[in-house]
């Protein structure tokens, strides 16, 4: 399905980018269960993106590829969360068709620049050629994909350390960074308040990061696992990427609700 000779291909569409451009939030979920079927259910449930979690989920590359394919036919955009901030880890997931890459433990502008280079082809970056399966996922010719992928792929950084908060202005000033996600759990741990994201020191650090991200033009992201009220409050404060939780937590919550009140 290539463009007519002499014409430019239509840009590779990214539903999430379109939402942000319209000033609307994207609703996300993290998939940790290595299951095509789980992704199919989530993709048809209304989420705008599904983050395939290679950082904390027991998911290998082959399974991740199948999970990416399972989003086809839905608006849900496949992301991947890498296990570490090593840009080369992004290569096979991009080539399989993800349109968003989340780099964890991004501490400074150097980390941010390396992430951007990993997700863009030369001359804008250092991504090497080899997208054998991404064009198939997006129903495009190889050339159409190569010509438009740079602008479709979202580069996201996790802001989850004290270093990242100190360097936040430089991080979000890095050209090519699209999304900065504040990770309250790891930030609390890094500040010595493990499991206490509501500690005043953690809340103050989150507020500093929020202020800098909102002033930069980079999209502000975060997690609202507790309730829709929490998500709505974050959206009102300027969050445009809101994660509603993990697949395992949604499953656990649903089962708990089903069991509550039963008489045995």
Q: Please, are residues 131 and 95 in contact by the beta-carbon 8 Å criterion?
A: yes
Q: Which of 15, 44, 56, 241 is catalytic?
A: 56
Cα–Cα distance between 184 and 202 in angstroms, integer? 8
194 in catalytic set:
no
Q: Please, are residues 178 and 219 in contact by the beta-carbon 8 Å criterion?
A: yes
Closest CA relative to residue 100, chosen from 158, 44, 59, 173: 158
The CA–CA distances, whole Å, from 31 to 34, 63, 151, 177, 180 equal 8, 12, 25, 23, 19
Beta carbons within 8 Å of 226's beta carbon, 6+ residues apart: none
Q: Which residues are catalytic?
A: 56
């Amino acid at each position: 399905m290539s463009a007519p000779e002499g014409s430019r291909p239509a840009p590779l569409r990214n539903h999430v980018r379109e939402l942000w451009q319209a000033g609307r939030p994207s609703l996300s979920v993290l998939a940790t269960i290595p299951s095509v079927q789980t992704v199919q259910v989530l993709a048809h449930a209304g989420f705008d993106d599904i983050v395939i979690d290679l950082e904390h989920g027991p998911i290998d590359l082959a399974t991740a590829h199948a999970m990416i394919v399972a989003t086809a036919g839905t608006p849900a955009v496949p992301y991947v969360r890498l296990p570490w901030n090593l840009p080369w880890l992004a290569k096979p997931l991009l080539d399989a068709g993800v349109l968003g890459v989340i780099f964890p433990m991004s501490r400074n502008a150097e980390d941010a620049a390396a992430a951007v280079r990993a997700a863009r082809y030369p001359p804008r970056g250092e991504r090497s050629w080899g997208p054998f399966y991404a064009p198939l996922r997006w129903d495009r010719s190889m050339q159409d994909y190569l010509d438009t992928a740079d602008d479709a792929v979202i580069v996201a950084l996790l802001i989850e350390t004290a270093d990242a908060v100190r360097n936040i202005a430089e991080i979000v000033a890095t050209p090519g960074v699209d999304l900065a996600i504040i990770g309250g759990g790891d930030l609390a741990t890094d500040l010595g308040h493990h499991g206490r994201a509501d500690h005043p020191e953690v809340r103050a650090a989150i507020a500093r990061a929020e202020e800098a991200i909102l002033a930069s033009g980079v999209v502000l992201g975060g997690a609202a696992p507790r309730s829709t009220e929490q998500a709505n409050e974050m959206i009102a404060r300027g969050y445009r990427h809101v994660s509603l939780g993990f697949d395992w937590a949604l499953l656990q919550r649903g089962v708990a609700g089903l069991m509550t009140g039963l008489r045995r």
